[in-house]
Chain A
């Protein structure tokens, strides 16, 4: 039997999450090189048919349709995946390193006994075992990790690690899974989704964002930035620490836990560029980063960088703009 790479599809509110395609891209890349079949496992509700979206992205989709699978539940997912893993013995299982993936992959690793490397940004297979690259210390260093030899390897991938454009044109077989029992009673019960992004302004549509991070230091300094933004006709967005400190409402936040933005210009002031943040600005063609720390990861994604105290630049910008 041909070895497989099993990808766990993630979907929410009746659409597949983009990270699923990233996982499939990785599976495709590794599968091609190693002669492994890329198989996607899709657990969905009775009324759902998300498998159509997966056509061309993998060689096989295993679909399990049942009531209660509309929304992710770790207890159910874990039971199903354990069963599938037991039946198919995949070489590798790919998860997304999202809150749901963080819920699922580690406990699966414990219950299955297979080793797991989380939050990987790239994976290669060398001598038949995976070698994953992880970013540590806020992206200041990279680590290459190997896994304990095992029949199956579990990997969770950081969203935003793979470039996703078009399907790979694969012939996709859809296979329905039968005879898998779904736990009816779970200890965790889903209630609802809430959109926290709604607010007075909508940064996701803004053409020009001035975004601030921890580097502004003090809340009072916010006024200076607001003034500049007003004069330039930009909206203000921010990174997570600013919201955590309650300096700005949540709807200003850019990043995986905030909004994904796609302005023409994104000016990042005092933002170091943690991946959670950077993932939210991938759609911006021009990123200008101002940061005192020349090694800040933001400079790796920015087109233009200024290594300087941000307030010096803000002051100079205001002066140059004139009264």
Chain B
């Protein structure tokens, strides 16, 4: 089975105090570390393991700058056969345009299945996958957490809210957006990535896709970023751990959950 997997590099923001830049539309990214979007990592692992099971190929694609190639090298190290970067050429692209660019490239590829992450850690839009599927006229399903192979068809599980899962079948070729936890992504060692640096990585420009930069008008435009309003929030219990523990126990007793 030939799988195309779409990847995105996102800032690693765990415990980071994010700062908004002067233009108010972006965060200050200078001092941030970047990683492969968590959901995409699961999608990538799923693609690689499908390739291993079916003796197919994996093509990894990202839209971005040269720095974003890091995620493609990770994919190559993990076992992807081909990697393509669509050069974003300094544009801030919204999901609709990302889907557009991806579709242009993927149309020319041989594939049975496209995988994307269900959403991204940073902007959380959760829509590139379904948009891409529609661009390509493919059936699709979002938030998939299990894939089983059949004849020209997949049996998939979609995670719904409230602990309910939906099982359905979907005809190939199709696009699935992957939920975390679907597998256990393997580790890609630094040495593995260094080795993968020698593999070929294709770069495609927007021009080569016969698209006009001017025509890539965003559907969604960020007007401004702001810090979450300081709502009443929690009453902070202060003091050393023992004093805090006393306070917590008092609350628990008041609420009648401990005696």
List residues of chain A with CB under 8 Å of any chain B CB.
12, 17, 74-75, 97-100, 102-107, 109-111, 115-119, 131, 134-148, 159, 186-197, 207-208, 232-234, 240, 243-244, 250-251, 253, 256-260, 263-265, 267, 285-289, 292-293, 295, 297, 299-300, 302-308, 312-313, 315-317, 319-321
Contacts and interface: CB of A to CB of B under 8 A. Distances in A.
A168 B245 CA distance: 44
A137 B122 contact: yes
B220 A102 contact: no
B244 interface: yes
B54 interface: no
Contacts of A145: 220-223
A102 B135 contact: no
B33 interface: no
Contacts of B61: none
Contacts, number: 276
A316 B241 contact: yes
Given A110-B96, A194-B165, 9 more contacts: A97-B126, A99-B142, A102-B130, A110-B134, A232-B257, A300-B234, A308-B241, A313-B244, A316-B241
Nearest to A136: B123
Contacts of B119: 102
- Which 4 pairs between the two chains have the least Cβ-Cβ distance? A305-B234, A197-B163, A187-B139, A115-B219
A192 B236 contact: no
Interface in B167-202: 167-171, 174, 177, 179-181
Given A116-B127, A141-B18, A253-B163, A148 B99 contact: no
B133 interface: yes
Contact of B127 (A118, A146, A302, A319): A118
Interface of B: 11, 13, 15, 17-18, 20, 27, 95-96, 99, 118-119, 121-131, 133-135, 139-143, 155, 157-171, 174, 177, 179-181, 217-229, 231, 233-237, 240-242, 244-249, 251-252, 255-258
Nearest to A115: B219
Binding site secondary structure of chain A: mixed
B234 A99 contact: no
A17 B164 CA distance: 13
A193 B165 contact: yes
A143 B249 CA distance: 38
B258 A208 contact: yes
B96 A141 contact: no
Given A243-B181, A264-B255, A119 B126 contact: yes
Contacts of A110: 96, 99, 131, 134-135
Contacts of A297: 228
Contacts of A197: 162-164
Indicate the member of A99, A138, A253, A286 with the most B CB atoms within 10 Å: A99
Contacts of B166: 99, 190, 192-194
Contacts of B240: 316
Contacts of A250: 163
Given A106-B131, A189-B168, A320 B17 contact: no
27 contacts: A12-B160, A99-B142, A99-B160, A100-B142, A105-B130, A109-B219, A110-B99, A117-B220, A119-B126, A137-B13, A140-B228, A143-B222, A145-B220, A145-B223, A188-B140, A189-B170, A190-B168, A191-B155, A193-B164, A208-B252, A244-B180, A257-B159, A299-B234, A299-B236, A302-B233, A307-B236, A321-B249
Contact of A109 (B96, B221, B227): B96
Most chain B beta carbons < 10 A, residue from A110, A192, A287: A110
A80 to B, nearest CB: 16
Nearest to B171: A187
A288 B27 CA distance: 31
Nearest to A296: B15
Nearest to B131: A106
A260 B218 CA distance: 37
Contact of B235 (A117, A305, A315): A305
B126 A118 contact: yes
A187 B249 contact: no
B245 A320 contact: yes
Contact of B234 (A251, A256, A304, A316): A304
A265 B126 contact: no
A323 B110 CA distance: 66
A137 B214 CA distance: 29
